[in-house]
């Protein structure tokens, strides 16, 4: 049996107490970027394409696009469309619509039709959905959007 001296025991016991102590960690904040999706460029063609109206419509219901930018996608003054943009985009799982045909219905109006899809369901026909030319840009028809939103959210979104 080997004897351990008192000095060895003291150095073992207190050696651990003399080890460097970690500095207390300061709390760290997790910082996230507040990036918003960019809205599509203004559509100013004399007659918009189905692809242009698909991008316009998709941005109008996309909550990752800033609310003020979505409000500009409806005809009429932007400040009047903020509550409409909020209600119009407040769909838990919006359908995807791809417009494949555009029909001129008046000097500053077109109707777009195409296919819609929702979740994993089969595609279905959509349209006609009206778009209007306002201040030389094509927009989602405010009157149409207000009728749709009014059926679910009441008239407050379009007041």
Residue 117, pLDDT above cutoff 60: yes
Cα→Cα distances 73→27, 56, 76, 103, 107, Å: 43, 7, 9, 20, 19
Q: The whole model's pTM is what?
A: 0.73
11 within a domain of the structure (yes/no): no
Q: Which domain holds residue 79?
A: 45-158
Q: CA nearest 104: which of 96, 116, 113, 91?
A: 113
What share of the chain in percent tops pLDDT 70?
A: 72
Considering its fold, how many domains does the chain have in total?
Answer: 1
Q: What is the mean pLDDT of residues 19-25?
A: 57
E strand map for 4-106 = 96-106
8 within a domain of the structure (yes/no): no
38 within a domain of the structure (yes/no): no
């Amino acid at each position: 049996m080997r004897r351990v001296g008192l000095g060895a025991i003291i150095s073992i016991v207190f050696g651990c107490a003399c080890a460097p102590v970690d500095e207390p960690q300061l709390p760290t904040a997790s910082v996230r970027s507040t990036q918003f999706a960019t809205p599509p460029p203004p559509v100013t063609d004399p007659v918009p394409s189905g692809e242009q109206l698909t991008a316009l419509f998709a941005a109008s219901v996309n909550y990752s696009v800033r609310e003020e930018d979505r409000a500009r996608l409806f005809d009429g003054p932007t400040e009047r469309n903020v509550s409409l943009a909020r209600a119009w985009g407040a769909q838990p799982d919006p359908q995807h619509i791809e417009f494949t045909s555009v029909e001129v219905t008046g000097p500053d109006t077109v109707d777009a039709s195409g296919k819609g899809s929702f979740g994993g369901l089969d595609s279905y026909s959509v349209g006609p959905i009206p778009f209007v030319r306002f201040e030389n840009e094509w927009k989602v028809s405010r009157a149409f959007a207000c009728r749709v939103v009014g059926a679910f959210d009441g008239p407050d979104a379009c007041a």
